[in-house]
Amino acid sequence: MSTVRSPYFKRLRSSAPKKSKSNAPLTPALDSKKAKVTRTKVKLEPQDSFSGKFTGTKSNSHETKAYVNRKEVKQENPKWEPVLWKKQLANIRKMRQSKDAPVDTMGCEKCKGENYSEKDKRFHTLVSLMLSSQTKDQVTHAAMLRLIEHGLTAETVSRIPDEQLGKLIYPVGFWKKKVIYLKKTAHILKEEYDGDIPDDIDGLVKLPGVGPKMAYLAMTCAWNKVVGIGVDVHVHRIANRLKWVKSRTKLPESTRKELEDWLPQSYWREVNWLLVGFGQQICLPVSPRCSDCLNKDICPSSTAKTKMHK
């Protein structure tokens, strides 16, 4: 004879706690006869970082709403870069087409003696860079011609009397200090590098009077290895005027790091040459010739009357 169980009984069964397979109590509270059954209300709230969509779904006769979470797609922050840099750089390239700035005819690339070994030519590049700080290209170039004519190797510089060396490089900026730096550097190169120059940044910046700008340029011009951007006062100033740095930089070294962060490496060599000449001819340190500049409408620092939003 089958037993007909009332719906009430069925409800009781389904709500009773299931027996654990082991004899261990489900929870200490359920095991105790005196345990009180407490109910906790759980408030469901959408997550702060919710990124799914809100949909309406039908369940039986009730219409319920549910958040459908989508798997968050992790997006890497796109790399920062100045919005108009390609256009600005293309304009600078156009303005530099004639290649008639001092750097084009008298830069460190043009300061190598013809009848010297490759090793000595690398030394010439380093010497011209050391002389060039705080000095116009014309003055550096003239001093280099005198040195090359005298005989310019690590050996000759290490032997030349200070006074004579001073006369050869005068009137480059800080020439007295540079005499000391050149002599010390020549000694180190003779003793440790067989008269050649170091082929890495660390070795170069250890030489007296050689800073990061010179080191990166020496790597490019002497060794033909582009390992960083040579940032001199022109590159530093123009990068800030064009806002090619996220926020204003005080030191050329900070500008170098910022530029290297976003500028593709294929531009590193060219950007130094472009900006140095541009800074010598148009984007001058004082009173830049903005009205003659092709970037006057898209430069945040333009002093020409333009339509540009700054």
What is the set of active-site residues? 213
Nearer to ligand SF4, 157 or 283 (CB): 283
CB of 304 to ligand SF4, least distance (A): 6
β-strands 53-59, 62-68 pairing: antiparallel
Amino acid residing at 283: C
Question: Which one, 156 or 281, has the nearer CB to ligand SF4?
Answer: 281
Chain positions contacting ligand SF4, by CB under 6 A: 241-242, 282-283, 288-290, 293, 295-296, 299, 301-302
Q: Which is nearer to ligand SF4, 119 or 241 (CB)?
A: 241
- Evaluate whether 272 touches 217 at the Cβ level (below 8 Å): yes
Tokens of 147: 């040195």
List phi, psi (to 5°) of 211.
Answer: -105, 180
Residues 113 and 135: beta-carbon distance below 8 Å: no
- Closer to ligand SF4 by Cβ: residue 276 or 290: 290
Quote the Cα angle for 124-224-256, to 5°.
95
**3-state DSSP assignment of residue 62:** strand
Nearest to 140 by CA among 116, 173, 109, 117: 173
Pick between residue 10 and residue 289 the one whose CB is nearest to ligand SF4: 289
At 96, list the tokens.
């530099």
Q: For ligand SF4, which is the closer residue by CB, 213 or 234?
A: 234
* Residue 76 phi, psi (nearest 5): -75, 145
Question: In whole angstroms, how close is the CB of 92 to ligand SF4 at the nearest point?
Answer: 8
Match 């709230």 to its residue by tokens: 45
Smallest distance from ligand SF4 to CB 87, Å:
12
The letter for the amino acid at 183 is K
Q: Which of 206, 192, 199 is nearest to 154 (CA)?
A: 192
Minimum CB–partner distance for residue 185 and ligand SF4 (Å): 35
The sign of the CA dihedral 288, 291, 295, 297 is positive
> Least distance in Å: CB of 195 to ligand SF4?
42
Taking the complex as a whole, how short is the minimal distance between the CB of residue 226 and ligand SF4, in angstroms? 24
Exposure of 180 by Cβ count < 10 A (0-12 exposed, 13-18 middle, 19+ buried)?
A: middle
